């Protein structure tokens, strides 16, 4: 209809520039128009002066308006209005037709159970290709893992295990340097699984003014499907520690159904979570709590069993890697006086396989009793006074020790332990702790997650009930039983604390996990916060030991609580050499990015180290890569490497400075092929539309694809000519003239004005 | 009128006695050395309390209240005199008066260290033995003292075997942490009670040699510290007696402090 009325496609009006071809000045048109309008008004003014006035003022105005509009329209046509538009010169330009050849194109969700690839072939063979060939040189490509020339459409197989749209667009854009590429036509479902189309690709295509026209294939929404959208699992875990996998899924057609999320290590089920599905299309996140088990690399499968009549069953499960470390992080616990909490804290961790505790207890004014020391020299002179001695620990617990016990240098070292070393610090309550120990006036006050005063009477030897705060409901530290609601109730049933310490509210950024309750008044009991590279916490009591003594012998809540708190304290404490990769599972990808952060014994960044990555391949062979320092980030080293074969890889990073070995670290990664195309398999119309609109192209649904041949020539890329499109002969103009005259005639008859 | 005066007098007397009793807070006792007066800080809330185990004694027909050979031997002077030393010689925040606990309530679980004396005469029933077993396995510590010779040993182990039927009693070696946690106590000797003033010997019955023994848990932690053929309680009690030799009292204090330190650290 638009083209019938306006003679040209809408795209001409979008791209064209309005001009007047007669060559007469536009101001003359305006002046003449005004004169004509005035001349047409004169008879009405004159007739108002006559005694025989038969028309009202407003009616005269309407009639004059209609006459003036038509006169002006006719007048403007004399100036020959037209649109100047750039069009591709016939047969002198190349149009690149790119067809998605990935596995997702084999999904039969087009009308009549036709595959997307078959639909693409049909569109091209049914005239589009011939129409394009009449005007341009057509280069046919297929895109999957890479961009390849295609001899004929029927060679499409839809078997490639990845779609790299970004790379293929760059490839075609690069070709435009040698051949005049006038436009790109992309037939795809938009399922890019190489991280989408990046801004630099868009910029490159835009810079060459090449419009990318897209033809969307495939259903935009399944009727019945469940897809795992993302799974977040920590890349590292301590042996036998409990960790959480955050699983986000989305579904259509199964709203209110009950499903079971399962987490497996091979055939062994490590965790399960029941859930009721929310509304269609709404992302839903659930957590699965599981035990990391013994040390070693783990490939975890997380997902849901296929549901009844599910249209895509291959997107219900993903793999994630977790490196369960054999190291046993060490915690230094300093206690200012003998107390039961000290004994029972040590006992709770004595059998723990994940953390070890080294303690120093001031038994008398001048004696320190050490336990859990690695050698007789350790802590022989008391609390460490060198950073390298303190920083060998991963966590630090400060019990009832007054601030004055530490020298100013030691106080600063404690801050750096958290801030720079990235260690975990826990403050415990006590008669010489926190406010009562003078910490309220110390420079380390900001390490305490709650506000404390400089009062000296905040430690109370009165029993206090405990309850979880809102922040503790889903915390791994406070999880005594799996079910969150049951856990809240479990905490209410814990024996009273033997004592508590009054503190202020949590500081901004801190989270209160549990509260002590005395006479209806609540005090923060357990609060945590992140601080610098590390984290700190407060347990404002020295009386959790009653949980051990006042509960049945087989009850393990005291041990579980302390193990979880101490694991939280140390799990994220980094080693001196810390390696990582942004994506541990490469789904149909080959490039792996390796990063390493290198620090010395005092955890200052080292920028002059020699850092090498030794990669152990699935076939048992190894490759060495030298990592390069990042110029703008001290102590950071990076490298990129191609994982050519699918399988499991291990990267060991070793850092040296001269003959001194600074440390080493390792991580696992895995390349999986034939997986990515199963996810996000609905048509990604949003991506295709964005790509077209940002490059000056148009998105066409399959039904409108035939229009493409006519519109593709309006482009400013390649070899173009400026074409003037006349507007005087548009059917819409004749229609408007007719309407204006007819309206005037009708009104005159109605009002009796001849 | 006379009956009214009687009733009034009785009520008044009851009220006076009640108020006086309530103001005493903790009970004072007349021990062998005369009346013991509660110190002003008797009700102070502290980290550590000297908890004395009140157990049924064979001599008292299965009840708690024997005259001699019962749980209350040396009580309370030994306890109070000892904790003065503990206060002075360590950083333990300790109450000036003792607490008496038994195995018929759960109060014992609030005191992870308990002291039992004259256990050569204790007679625990199965329920009490089970509670003591639970207490010890959870982390409680029991120090036993002041029993002598083979007969009292047999009586002691009869009840102990009800507590731990399958855990052996082991002779403690010098290397045990309990002898080094605060004081190094490699040179230990038999600590006699004041009976030596009359008998002229440091032992009683056939317990000629002091024995340091113990029962351990599965992790190798000492749960029961057994001082056999010794009277450490007497040494604490009579440390202020000029006739009682200083070296016995000194070792008794150091032993007691080490056992408490061990209980508070292991």
The residue written with tokens 């006042």 in the block is A550
Across the interface, whether the CB atoms of A550 and B112 are under 8 A apart is answered no
Distance from A667 to chain B by nearest Cα, in Å? 35
Say if the Cβ atoms of A338 and B261 lie within 8 Å.
yes
Asked if residue A567 has a cis previous peptide bond (ω within 30° of 0), the answer is: no
Task: Please list the residue range(s) of chain A that carry CATH number 2.60.40.1930.
Answer: 577-676
> Long-range contacts of range A55-64, CB-CB < 8 Å, 24 or more positions apart?
A55/A751, A55/A753, A59/A747, A59/A751, A59/A753, A62/A747, A63/A744, A63/A747, A63/A748, A63/A753, A64/A40
Contact assignment for A461 to B140 by CB distance below 8 Å? no
Please provide the DSSP assignment of A678-713 as one string: GSS-S--HHHHHHHHHHHT--EEEGGGGGGHHHHTT
Minimal Cβ distance to A364: which of B89, B135, B266 = B89
d(CA B65, CA A632): 81
Contact B92 A337 (CB under 8 A): yes
List pLDDT tens digits, range A260-296: 999 999 899 999 999 999 999 899 999 898 999 999 8
Does residue B26 surpass a pLDDT of 50? no
**CB-based contact, B41 to chain A, within 8 Å:** no
Contacts of B88 in chain A (CB under 8 A): none
Which stretch of A528-537, A679-688, A730-739 has the lowest confidence by average pLDDT? A679-688
What would be the CATH architecture of the domain defined by A90-220+682-718? 3-Layer(aba) Sandwich (3.40)
Task: List the single residue in B with minimal CA-CA distance to A342.
Answer: B265
Q: By CA distance, what is B133's nearest residue in A?
A: A553
Q: Given CB atoms, is B184 within the 8 Å cutoff of chain A?
A: no
Give SS3 for A504.
coil
Return the CATH architecture of domain B32-263.
3-Layer(aba) Sandwich (3.40)
Residue B10: predicted pLDDT: 55
**Which of A:355-414 have CB within 8 Å of B?**
361-365, 367, 369, 371
How many A-B residue pairs are in contact by the CB < 8 A criterion? 80
> Any chain B CB within 8 A of the CB of A693?
no
Q: Average per-residue pLDDT in chain A?
A: 91
- In the CATH scheme, what architecture does the domain A330-571 have? 3-Layer(aba) Sandwich (3.40)
Nearest to A337 among B93, B110, B135 (CB): B93
Distance CA A672, CA A681 (A): 17
The ipTM assigned to this model is: 0.89
User: B7-21 pLDDT, tens per residue?
Assistant: 555 554 544 444 444
Top mean-pLDDT range of A32-46, B19-33, B195-209? B195-209
Mind telling me how many Å the CA of A490 is from chain B's nearest CA? 20
pLDDT band at A719 (very low <50, low <70, confident <90, very high): confident
CB B222 within 8 A of CB B260: no
- The reply to whether B139 touches chain A by the CB within 8 Å rule is yes
Determine which of B43, B85, B87, B93 to mutate to test the interface with A (most A C-beta atoms within 10 Å).
B93
- DSSP codes, A373-415: -SSTTTTTTSS--SHHHHTTSSEEEE-S--GGGS-HHHHHHHH
Using CA atoms, how far apart are residues B140 and B259, in angstroms rounded to an integer? 12
Is the model more confident about B140 or about A198? B140
User: How far A365 CA lies from chain B's nearest CA (Å)?
Assistant: 7
Residue numbers in B near A546 (CB within 8 A): 109-110
What is the rounded average pLDDT of the residues A243-249?
92
pLDDT of residue B66: 47
- Kindly determine whether residue A339 and residue B47, on different chains, have CB atoms separated by under 8 Å: yes
Cross-chain residue pair A336–B266, CB shorter than 8 Å:
no
Q: Which residue of B has its CA nearest to A461?
A: B45
Phi-psi region of A482 (alpha: psi -120 to 50; beta: other; left: phi over 0): alpha
Residue A461 has pLDDT above 90, yes or no: yes
Mutate to test the interface with A, among B47, B114, B216 (most CBs of A within 10 A): B47
Count of CB atoms within 10 A of residue A141's CB?
A: 19
Task: For chain B, say whether A333 makes contact (Cβ under 8 Å).
Answer: no
**Hey, how many other C-beta atoms are within 10 angstroms of the C-beta on A554?**
5
Residues of chain B neighbouring A461 (CB-CB closer than 8 A): 45-47
- Which residue would you say has higher pLDDT here, B13 or A347? A347
- Report pLDDT digits (tens) over A641-696: 999 899 999 999 999 999 999 999 999 999 988 787 788 888 889 889 999 989 98
B131 interaction partners in chain A (CB closer than 8 Å): none
The confidence score (pLDDT) of residue B61 equals: 52
Beta bridge partners of A284: A249
Tell me if the domain spanning A577-676 has CATH number 2.60.40.1930.
Answer: yes
Q: Is the model more confident about A179 or about B156?
A: B156
User: Helix, strand or coil for residue A174?
Assistant: helix
Whether A446 shows a pLDDT value over 60: the answer reads yes
DSSP structure string for B97-156: S-EEEESSSSGGGG-SEEEEE-GGGB---HHHHHHHHHHHHHT-EEEEE-B-HHHHHHHH
Q: Nearest-CA distance from A461 to chain B in Å?
A: 6
Percent of chain A with pLDDT over 70: 99
Does domain A236-325 fall under CATH 3.40.50.20? My reply is no
| Closest Cα in chain B to A554 | B138
What's the pLDDT at A713? 82
Question: Does the pTM exceed 0.90?
Answer: no
């Amino acid at each position: 209809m638009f083209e019938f009325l306006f003679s040209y496609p809408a795209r001409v009006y979008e791209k064209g520039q309005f001009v007047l071809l007669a060559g007469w000045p536009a101001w003359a048109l305006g002046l003449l128009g005004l004169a004509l309008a005035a001349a047409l008004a004169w008879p009405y003014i004159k007739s108002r002066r006559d005694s025989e006035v038969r028309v009202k003022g407003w009616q005269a105005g309407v009639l004059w308006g209609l006459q003036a509009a038509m006169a002006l329209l006719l007048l403007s046509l004399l100036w020959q209005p037209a649109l100047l538009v750039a069009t591709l010169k016939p047969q002198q330009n190349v149009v690149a037709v790119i067809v998605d050849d990935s596995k997702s194109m084999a999904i039969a969700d087009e009308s009549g159970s036709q595959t997307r690839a078959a639909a693409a072939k049909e569109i091209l063979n049914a005239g589009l290709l011939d129409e394009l060939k009449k005007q341009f040189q057509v280069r046919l490509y297929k895109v999957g893992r890479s961009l390849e020339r295609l001899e004929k459409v029927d060679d499409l197989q839809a078997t490639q295990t990845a779609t790299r749209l970004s790379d293929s667009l760059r490839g075609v854009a690069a070709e435009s340097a040698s051949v005049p590429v006038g436009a790109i036509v992309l037939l795809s479902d938009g399922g890019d699984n190489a991280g989408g189309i990046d801004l630099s690709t868009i910029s490159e295509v835009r810079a060459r003014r090449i419009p990318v026209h897209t033809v969307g294939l495939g259903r935009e929404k399944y009727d019945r499907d469940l897809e795992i959208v993302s799974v977040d699992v920590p890349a590292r875990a301590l042996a036998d520690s409990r960790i959480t996998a955050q699983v986000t899924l989305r579904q259509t057609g199964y709203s209110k159904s009950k499903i079971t999320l399962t987490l497996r290590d091979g055939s062994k089920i490590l965790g399960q979570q029941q859930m009721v599905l929310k509304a269609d299309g709404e992302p839903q996140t659930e957590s699965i709590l599981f035990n990391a088990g013994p040390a070693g690399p783990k490939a975890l499968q997380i997902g849901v069993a296929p549901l009844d009549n599910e249209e895509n069953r291959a997107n219900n499960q993903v793999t994630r890697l977790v490196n369960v470390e054999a190291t046993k992080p060490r915690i230094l616990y300093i206690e200012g006086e003998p107390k039961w909490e000290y004994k029972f804290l040590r006992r709770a961790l004595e059998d723990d396989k994940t953390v070890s505790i080294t303690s120093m207890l001031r038994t008398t004014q001048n004696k320190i009793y050490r336990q859990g020391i690695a050698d007789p020299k350790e802590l022989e002179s008391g609390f460490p006074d060198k950073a390298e001695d303190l920083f060998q620990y991963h966590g630090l617990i400060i019990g009832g020790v007054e601030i004055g016990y530490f020298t100013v240098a030691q106080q600063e070292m404690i801050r750096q332990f958290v801030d720079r070393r990235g260690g975990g610090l826990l403050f415990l309550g006590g008669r010489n702790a926190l406010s009562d120990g003078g910490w309220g006036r110390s420079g380390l006050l900001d390490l305490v997650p709650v506000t404390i005063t400089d009062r000296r009477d905040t430690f109370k030897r009165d029993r206090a009930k405990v309850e979880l705060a809102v922040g503790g409901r889903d915390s791994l530290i406070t999880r005594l039983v799996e079910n969150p609601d049951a856990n809240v109730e479990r905490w209410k049933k814990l024996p009273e604390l033997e004592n508590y310490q009054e503190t202020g509210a949590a500081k901004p950024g801190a989270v209160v996990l549990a509260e002590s309750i005395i006479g209806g008044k609540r005090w923060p009991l357990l609060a945590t916060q992140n601080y610098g590279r590390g984290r700190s916490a407060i347990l404002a009591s020295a009386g959790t030991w009653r949980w051990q003594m006042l509960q049945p012998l087989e009850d393990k809540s005291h041990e579980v609580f302390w193990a979880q708190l101490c694991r939280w304290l140390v799990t994220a404490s980094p080693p001196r050499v810390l390696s990582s990769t942004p994506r541990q599972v490469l789904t149909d990808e080959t490039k792996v990015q390796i990063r390493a952060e290198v620090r010395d014994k005092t955890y200052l960044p080292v920028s002059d180290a020699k850092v090498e990555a030794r990669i152990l391949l699935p076939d048992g062979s190894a490759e060495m890569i030298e990592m390069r320092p990042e110029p703008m980030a001290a102590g950071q080293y990076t490298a990129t490497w191609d994982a050519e074969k699918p399988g499991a890889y291990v990267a060991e990073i070793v850092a040296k400075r001269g003959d001194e070995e600074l440390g080493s670290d390792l991580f696992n990664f895995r390349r999986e092929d034939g997986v990515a195309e199963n996810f996000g398999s609905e048509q990604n119309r949003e991506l295709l539309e964005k790509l077209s609109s940002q490059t000056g192209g148009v998105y066409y649904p399959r039904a409108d694809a035939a229009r493409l041949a006519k519109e593709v020539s309006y482009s400013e890329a390649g070899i173009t000519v400026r074409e003037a499109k006349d507007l005087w002969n548009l059917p819409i103009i004749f229609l408007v003239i007719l309407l204006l005259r007819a309206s005037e005639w009708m009104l005159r008859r109605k009002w009796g004005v001849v | 009128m006379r009956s009214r005066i009687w009733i009034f007098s009785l009520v008044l007397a009851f009220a006076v006695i009640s108020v006086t009793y309530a103001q005493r807070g903790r009970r004072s006792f007349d021990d062998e050395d005369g009346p013991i007066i509660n110190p002003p800080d008797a009700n102070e809330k502290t980290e550590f309390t000297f908890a004395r185990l009140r157990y049924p004694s064979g001599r008292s027909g299965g009840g708690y209240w024997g005259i001699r050979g019962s749980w209350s031997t040396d009580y309370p002077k030994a306890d109070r005199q000892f904790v003065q030393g503990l206060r002075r010689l360590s950083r333990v925040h300790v109450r000036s008066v003792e607490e008496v606990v038994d195995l018929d309530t759960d109060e014992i679980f609030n005191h992870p260290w308990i002291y039992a004396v004259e256990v050569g005469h204790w007679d625990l029933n199965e329920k009490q033995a089970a509670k003591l077993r639970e207490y010890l396995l959870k982390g409680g510590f029991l120090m036993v003292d002041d029993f002598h010779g083979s007969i009292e040993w047999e009586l002691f182990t009869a009840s102990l075997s009800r507590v731990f039927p399958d855990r052996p009693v082991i002779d403690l070696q010098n290397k045990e942490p309990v002898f080094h946690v605060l004081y190094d106590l490699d040179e230990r000797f038999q600590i006699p009670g004041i009976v030596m003033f009359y008998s002229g010997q440091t032992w009683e019955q056939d317990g000629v040699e002091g024995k340091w023994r113990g029962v351990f848990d599965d992790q190798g932690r000492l749960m029961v510290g057994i001082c056999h053929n010794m009277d450490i309680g007497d040494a604490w009690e009579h440390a202020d007696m000029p006739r009682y030799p200083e070296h016995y009292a000194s070792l008794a204090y150091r032993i007691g402090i080490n056992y408490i330190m061990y209980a508070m650290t292991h």
